[in-house]
Chains A and B, each alone.
Chain A
Amino acid sequence: MTREEAKEKIVEILRTVHTINPAKLVNVTEKTDFITDLGAPSTELVNIVAKAEEKFGVEFEDDDIDDIGSTMKETIDLVLKYVNKKQAAN
């Protein structure tokens, strides 16, 4: 999976988050911050990550979520770490 593919899937997740205005999802880049740029409350981050688990078919470790930030780049990094690990195991 490429970073762009991961980003598109994460944007699909963000479209389901009711606290995010879909109009803000048009020009999302890896620098986009879910809190400052998209207006999501910080408490929403856990829900976004939980939805990413489901969408990508992986299960994140609590410790990795401890250190995650609120940008698209950090979310892509997290997702690809687990997706690549899963692919390597198969």
Chain B
Amino acid sequence: MRRNFTAQTNSMKTLVGQRTDLVLPHGPTKRLVDEYYWHSPTVGIVAGYTPNERDVHDHFGVFRAVDQVESFGQAVVVSCSAFLDTEKMGLGYKEYYEQRNFVFVGIKSVHCHNVIRYNERYVCLGVINFYKYRQMTASGRIYKVPTGLDLHAYFKNFSEDRLRSYDLGEGFVLATELHDILGKGIKNEKLNF
């Protein structure tokens, strides 16, 4: 059972166990991360999502590559940046998003290997390449997950070395490689919110 996170502030050591709907500013139809499995604040993260019917609607039951990029951006750049910045500013996520938000700035390259279909669980493994002045660049991979695997247990003792070498066991299927996803935190007034 989940705890009541209503008054949650960012006083936890990592994002693992935190609710993605509180960490991320995106509304429910655009939020493409639903669980954090492993996180090292200055190194990277492992986060997961399962595409629902709406996510694959009008697209052959397949989760679009562009949505995978968005999902990765939310999982890595937004989540990790929000964690670091709220920690630095001493704010909870709600207060933080009243002042600031994130923009997707760019990506160097994406290489798709396999499709992700409706109801297929996947994980984003993201490594932070650069973070300064609220701008983050990250690279990584998306893997489809073996059916029935307990991901919290699987990633409980994951490590920086395993993240960087994408050291996963049998059954994980590489879906996508992403290089240099760039996002930036900016003041809300610059977004005309």
Q: Quick check: A66 and B186 within 8 Å, CB to CB?
A: yes
Q: Which residues of A contact B135 (CB under 8 A)?
A: 43, 46
B58-94 residues at the A interface, CB under 8 angstroms: 85, 88
Q: Quick check: B133 and A60 within 8 Å, CB to CB?
A: yes
Q: Which residues of B contact A66 (CB under 8 A)?
A: 133-134, 186-187
CA distance A21 to B93 in the complex (A): 42
Q: Chain B interface residue count: which class? A: 10 to 19
A30-69 residues at the B interface, CB under 8 angstroms: 42-43, 46, 49-50, 60, 62, 65-66
Interface flags for B117-150 (1: CB within 8 Å of A; 0: not) read: 0000000000000001111000000000000000
Q: Chain A interface residue count: which class? A: under 10
Q: Which residues of A contact B105 (CB under 8 A)?
A: 42-43
Q: Which residues of A contact B24 (CB under 8 A)?
A: none
Closest chain A residue, CB of each to CB of B88? A62
CA distance A43 to B106 in the complex (A): 9
CA distance A43 to B134 in the complex (A): 12
CA distance A30 to B186 in the complex (A): 25
Overall SS of chain B's interface: strand
Q: Quick check: A49 and B182 within 8 Å, CB to CB?
A: no
Q: Which residues of A contact B85 (CB under 8 A)?
A: 62
Q: In the complex, what's the smallest C-beta–C-beta distance from B157 to chain A, in angstroms? A: 34
Q: In the complex, what's the smallest C-beta–C-beta distance from A24 to chain B, in angstroms? A: 23
Closest chain B residue, CB of each to CB of A60? B133
CA distance A49 to B134 in the complex (A): 13
Q: Which residues of A contact B133 (CB under 8 A)?
A: 46, 49-50, 60, 62, 65-66
Closest chain B residue, CB of each to CB of A42? B105
Q: Which residues of B contact A43 (CB under 8 A)?
A: 105-106, 135, 182
Q: Which residues of A contact B132 (CB under 8 A)?
A: 46, 50
Closest chain A residue, CB of each to CB of B187? A66
B23-82 residues at the A interface, CB under 8 angstroms: none
Q: Which residues of B contact A65 (CB under 8 A)?
A: 133-134
CA distance A60 to B135 in the complex (A): 14
Q: Which residues of A contact B186 (CB under 8 A)?
A: 66
Q: Could you give 13 example pairs across A and B, Cβ below 8 Å? A: A42-B105, A43-B106, A43-B182, A46-B132, A49-B133, A62-B85, A62-B88, A62-B133, A62-B134, A65-B134, A66-B133, A66-B134, A66-B187
Closest 4 CB pairs of A and B: A65-B133, A46-B135, A62-B133, A46-B133
Beyond A43-B105, A62-B133, A66-B133, 17 additional pairs, beta carbon < 8 A: A42-B105, A43-B106, A43-B135, A43-B182, A46-B132, A46-B133, A46-B135, A49-B133, A50-B132, A50-B133, A60-B133, A62-B88, A65-B133, A65-B134, A66-B134, A66-B186, A66-B187
